[in-house]
Amino acid sequence: MKDRRKDHWLVRKDTIRKLWWLFGAILAATVAADFFVYHKAYFGIDGTFGFGAWFGFLACVLMVLFAKGLGVFLKRRDTYYDR
Amino acid sequence: MTASFLLQPSLILIAGGIFLPFLPMRARNFALLTLPLLALYFIWQLPDGISLKAKFAGYELAITKADALSRLFATIFAIMAFAGAMFALNQERTAELAAAFIYAGSAIGVTFAGDLITVFVFWELMAIGSTLVLVSAGRGAYGSALRYAAIHFFGGVLLMAGIAGEIAATGSIAFNKMALDSFPRVLILAGFLLNAGAPPLSAWLPDAYPESSWSGMVFLSAFTTKTAVYVLLRGFPGTELLIYVGLFMVFYGIIYAILENDMRRILAYSIVNQVGFMVTGIGIGSEIALNGAAAHAFTHIIYKALLLMSAGSVLYMTGKRKCTDLGGLFRTMPLTAICGIIGALSISSFPLTSGFVSKSMISDGAASAQLAFVWFMLAAASAGVFLHAGIKFPWFVFFQKDSGLRPSEPPLNMKLAMIFFAFLCIAIGIWPEPLYALLPFKVNYVPYTASHVVFYLQLLLFSGLAFFLMLGWLKRTMTITLDTDWFWRGGGRRFMKRLDIAAGDAWNRLEKWSRDRARDFARLLRTHHGPAGLLSRSTPTGAMAFWTTVMLAAYLILSQF
């Protein structure tokens, strides 16, 4: 069938692995930047180390979980209104 | 007439829209590209203050009244009309483009309207124009267009009632800052908010816009909601209620977009989300927050149109809208993908894009007003924007899996329109000063501080991490998510079914009743005219005398009148 190696370089397995490493390095770098950058804290907690990182991550997890929960009640087949 | 063209630039686009269908193709395309630029030129010729007045029903209308705020919105509306027209040059249905120009023109009209009556006139013209844009997408859009029109004319009724009450109470038609202290003003605010896509009727937006044509939604995304932002900025800055309405819109947009499968519905929900940021900024009401809301409207129009051009190109080339049908298109549509990604980064307010220099002003407004709850919510929402639109749209459309589709890039004019807006997204992001100079208040804001940049990078990149770690949960399914429009769609149908049963009963009863009456009548006829009936007796002379007497008596009576 389709030859995996002939697929676009961007979607090859080893490229994706490298991209994950690169992404991980960038993530670590943005958090490490907090050693050098002073954040003025307006409300206390927002000045703590790596605040943007854990807050952003946590917020996204919570939003996805909430959406999943809401989906249980409100999701319908996309032909719902066509009947 | 020339003078009023000069003094109300909206008329250039409105009149242009009316004449568009009568032009041959080449002249049509020439008009499409030049009229918005002409309008832009005249927008910048308008002096501050009232420059066009008219008398109407005893009131002095300020048809054109310009200041920094109106100029800012009119400018971006004209630029939007230009880029949208460039993108839509291949649109064969001239009716859609004509409607889009009337729509864009009336949006500009609202921004220069100095009194409530003029606001209302252009407001309704906008509703008509946008409905026609929807209708011209064809039969598939009729249902949505009808619901769209119904909701917006209801909004118009609220606004009209509010304006009438306001004029009755104050005697003035001036459109200025209002405190939310009387019932008519609540109605005006409700009318404005309906167009902004605020709860509880926000469902009109994701119901209607995605049903428009590949070019129609580019226009639709820009004008209605942003005109609402403009009138809220002008009429209700600092109204605390708006903070909470805005925050609701922000999260509503995110949650529904996460669950959505249709790429254009994802972008429709994210319009509500972005307008939510602006409405929150208007509610905060400080100079920096209002500047932020105004700037965000400006940048939002550009990147949202860019995202919809990218999605429109995909729809134009493949005819598909659902994430489950798409994927892997970056192979053959690299430019469309890159432009879509630039739009996606801008909407997520990535540093060096236009969204960063505008949205962070709103957050800073919340911080400097010491509104902790609002600030934390906005920060969470900024992460959520990257999640629901910033990665989700490009990922599911251009990467994800290989759908096997190999569409080529769209035609040149569509590419140019995308490049133009992608350029603006980055240019404003790198060099925000010209935009800041257009804002209603003086700007003392520096977006690029180390703290700001690092904070946003952390927020966004870790939300990206969350996206890829939870990819399994975010996998698209062939579903929609019920919204308040259920009440006037599914719920309505159910209600009608009930009504049907009731109506059926009533009909059966009516039928039985009429059958019985008919039988009675037949019996009556038979009694009098039947073989033994009084009136069919064969004694003509007596009967004739009787009937002649009756007729003469009738004449006698009638002659009295």
pLDDT in tens, B296-317: 999 999 999 999 999 999 999 9
Could you tell me which residues come within 8 angstroms of residue B485 by beta carbon, excluding any fewer than 6 positions away? B147, B203, B204, B207
- Distance CA(B473)–CA(B467), nearest Å, equals 9
Closest Cα to residue B284, out of B352, B227, B348, B366?
A: B366
By the 8 A CB rule, do B472 and A66 touch? Answer: no
- Quick: pLDDT tens for B166-194: 999 999 999 999 999 999 999 999 999 99
Termini Cα distance of chain A: 40
Quote the crossing angle between the two packed helices B263-284 and B287-318, to the nearest 10°.
170
Q: Tell me the CB-side half-sphere exposure of residue B557, using CA atoms within 13 A.
A: 6
- Neighbouring CB atoms inside 10 A of B192's CB total 26
Average pLDDT over chain B, rounded to an integer: 92
Q: B338 CB near a chain A CB, below 8 Å?
A: no
B550 burial type by CB count under 10 A (0-12 exposed, 13-18 middle, 19+ buried): exposed
* 3-state class (DSSP) for residue B302: helix
Instruction: Provide the residue type at B507 as one letter.
Output: W
Q: Residue range B42-56: average pLDDT?
A: 91
Q: Which pLDDT value is given to residue B1?
A: 44
Q: Which of A19-23, B60-64, B256-260, B509-513 has the lowest mean pLDDT?
A: B509-513
Distance CA B69, CA B175 (A): 13
Could you tell me if B261 lies within 8 Å of chain A, comparing CB atoms?
yes
Q: Looking at per-residue confidence, does A82 or B421 come out higher? A: B421
Chain B contact set for A62 (CB, 8 A) = 380
Q: Give strand pairing partners of B65.
A: B50
CB contact under 8 A, A10 and B470: no
In angstroms, the CA B42 to CA B5 distance is 8
Cα–Cα distance measured from residue A51 to residue A41, given in angstroms and rounded to the nearest whole number: 10
State the amino acid at position B209 in one-letter form: Y
**Which residue in B377, B63, B99, B42 sits closest to B223, CA to CA?**
B99
pLDDT (0 to 100) of residue A1: 44
C-beta atoms surrounding B276 within 10 Å? 27
pLDDT at B489: 81
> Partners of B56 in the beta sheet?
B59
Nearest CA in chain A to B492: A81
Which runs of E-coded beta strand occur in B32-116? 49-56, 59-66
Contact B244, B203 (CB under 8 A): no
Residue A47: what residue type?
A: G
Go through chain A and tell me how many residues it has: 83
| DSSP class of A38 | P
Amino acid, res. B489: R
Q: Quick check: A56 and B379 CB within 8 A? A: yes
B146 in contact with A at a CB cutoff of 8 Å? no
CA B295/CA B297 separation, integer angstroms: 5
pTM (2 decimals)?
Answer: 0.87
Residue B539 has pLDDT above 80, yes or no: no
Interior/surface letters B297-318, b for 16+ CB within 10 angstroms, e for the rest: bbbbbbbbbbbbbbbbbbbbbb
Contact between B110 and B54 (Cβ < 8 Å): no
Quote the percentage of chain B above a pLDDT of 90: 78
How confident is the model at residue B20, as a pLDDT?
94
Rounded Cα distance between A75 and B486, Å, is 12
Over residues B38-42, mean pLDDT: 95
Which helix or strand (DSSP H or E) is residue B46 part of? Answer: none
User: Is the CB of B477 less than 8 angstroms away from the CB of A31?
Assistant: no
Give the one of B258, B368, B465 whose C-beta lies nearest to A63's C-beta.
Answer: B258
Closest CA to B11 of B55, B46, B48, B59: B46
What is d(CA B364, CA B378) in angstroms, rounded to the nearest whole number?
10
Distance CA A1, CA B112 (A): 63
Cβ distance of A42 and B370 shorter than 8 Å = yes
Overall average pLDDT of the B452-472 stretch: 94
Task: Report helix, strand or coil for B148.
Answer: helix
CA distance B424 to B298: 11
Asked if B234 contacts B123 with a C-beta cutoff of 8 angstroms, the reply is no
ipTM of the complex: 0.91
A22 shares contact with chain B (CB less than 8 Å)? no
- By Cβ distance, the residue of B256, B258, B463 closest to A56 is B463
Residue B78, both tokens: 């004209």
Query: Which range has the worst mean pLDDT, B352-366, B459-473, B504-518?
Result: B504-518
> Quick one: average pLDDT of B272-297?
97
Interface residue A49 vs chain B (CB under 8 A)? no
Q: Other CB atoms closer than 10 Å to residue B468's CB: what's the count?
A: 12
- Establish if B489 touches chain A: CB-CB under 8 angstroms: yes
Banded pLDDT at B507 (limits 50, 70, 90): confident
Cα–Cα distance for residue pair A27/A32, rounded to 1 Å:
9
Mutation site, A38, A43, A48, A60, interface B, largest B CB count within 10 A: A60
Within 10 angstroms of residue B481's Cβ, the number of other Cβ atoms is 23
Read off the tokens for B226: 């942003």
